Amino acid sequence: MEYEIKQHEKFRFIEEGSGEPLVLLHGLFGTLSNFKDLIEYFRHHNRVLVPILPLLDMDILHTSVVGLAKYVHKFLEAKDLRDVHLLGNSLGGHVALVHTLKHPERVKSLILTGSSGLFENGMGDSYPKRGDYEYIRKKTELTFYDPKTATKELVDEVYSITNNRMKAIKIIALAKSAIRNNLGEELNQIKQPTLLVWGNNDTITPPFVAKEFHWLIPNSELHFVDKCGHAPMMEVPDEFNAILHKFLEKLNEPATVSS
């Protein structure tokens, strides 16, 4: 299903459904299509918003995790969003973490899947090899447990980005920013209920990263998904949606008072 891209001030985004806001942040090579199953499911339960992050449109000085987190904060302000369930995949998870640390008052819960912020394997030392389609195809396939998830359309999109010199420079700047911006010493400050959903076969942010997040974030719960790589919401959407729905429902259950 195609969703309308809306415009408010300088922000472009998808907005579907009503209820508590669920804001989705895509990763470095992420597109809105990464979240299509998630949007389709949760638009019946939540007000789902997906801002198009300006990964390749910011000036090089502000092309960083912190720069993106500021952009997200301005988006939430512009849309007057509060009590947000903030979900991020890969670099989007990292941005969600930085935003939550700086502006905890707007975030009701945090959902991370394949998030950077502690450790990640990038595209390798030789990345990006401009003009080498086969190399990009193989690297894109490594994102997933099942290589078929890396459709030709997805590979073409990554190839077009890496084959543009300025875009490639900004991708490298963001990747280096993510590596430098290690949040290990700050994660214990996050008080929001946090859901971690991780692929057991994630080679970019391997399972030990999820366990470290779980250990460092006080109020967190961790779910591993088998036969799944770096993007569970794409590879196993039904399982991902079921885990997330249960988590959100639990947050809204009335507290029991013992007599």
Question: Where are the chain's structural domains?
Answer: 6-121+182-251
Residue 258 has pLDDT above 80, yes or no: no
pLDDT band at 80 (very low <50, low <70, confident <90, very high): very high
Strands (DSSP E) contained in the chain are: 6-8, 11-16, 21-25, 47-51, 84-89, 107-113, 194-199, 220-225
Q: How far apart are CA 116 and CA 97, in angstroms?
A: 9
Rounded to a whole number of angstroms, the distance between the first and last alpha carbons of the chain is 50
Q: How far apart are CA 155 and CA 1, in angstroms?
A: 21
Q: Give percent above pLDDT 90 in the chain.
A: 68
The per-residue b/e assignment along 6-31, b for 16 or more CB within 10 angstroms, e otherwise, is: eeeeebbbbbbbeebbbbbbbbbbbe
Prediction pTM value: 0.92
40, two tokens: 């389709």
pLDDT at position 157: 85
pLDDT at position 126: 44
pLDDT band at 59 (very low <50, low <70, confident <90, very high): confident
Residue 144 has pLDDT above 80, yes or no: yes
pLDDT at position 129: 58
pLDDT digits (tens, 9 = 90+) for 105-122: 999 999 999 999 998 776
Query: Within a 13 Å sphere around the CA of 49, how many CA atoms are in the beta-carbon half?
Result: 26
Q: Give percent above pLDDT 70 in the chain.
A: 94
At a CB cut-off of 8 Å and minimum separation 6, what does 222 contact? 196, 198, 210, 211, 213, 214
Alpha-carbon torsion, ordered 144, 62, 127, 202, to 10 deg: -20
Residue 52 has pLDDT above 80, yes or no: yes
Q: How far apart are CA 175 and CA 172, in angstroms?
A: 5
Mean pLDDT value across the chain = 91
**Dihedral angle sign, alpha carbons of residues 94, 71, 87, 156:** negative
73, two tokens: 């904060």
> 18-22, 176-180, 199-203: which has the minimum mean pLDDT?
176-180
Q: Count Cβ atoms within 10 A of the Cβ of residue 197 and give its class: 0-12 exposed, 13-18 middle, 19 or more buried.
A: buried
Place of tokens 């640390």: 101
pLDDT band at 130 (very low <50, low <70, confident <90, very high): low
Q: Whose CA is closest to 116, among 205, 219, 240, 35?
A: 205
Q: Is the model more confident about 184 or about 258?
A: 184
pLDDT at position 233: 96
Average pLDDT over residues 88-97: 96
CATH fold of the domain at 6-121+182-251 = Rossmann fold (3.40.50)
Average pLDDT over residues 172-183: 89
19 φ/ψ angles, rounded to the nearest 5 degrees:
120, -160
Name beta bridge partners: 51: 13
> 25-39, 73-87, 196-210, 211-225: which has the minimum mean pLDDT?
25-39
At a CB cut-off of 8 Å and minimum separation 6, what does 180 contact? none
**Dihedral angle sign, alpha carbons of residues 240, 241, 246, 252:** positive
Q: Which SS3 state, helix, strand or coil, does residue 61 take?
A: helix
Q: Whose CA is closest to 224, among 204, 240, 246, 203?
A: 240
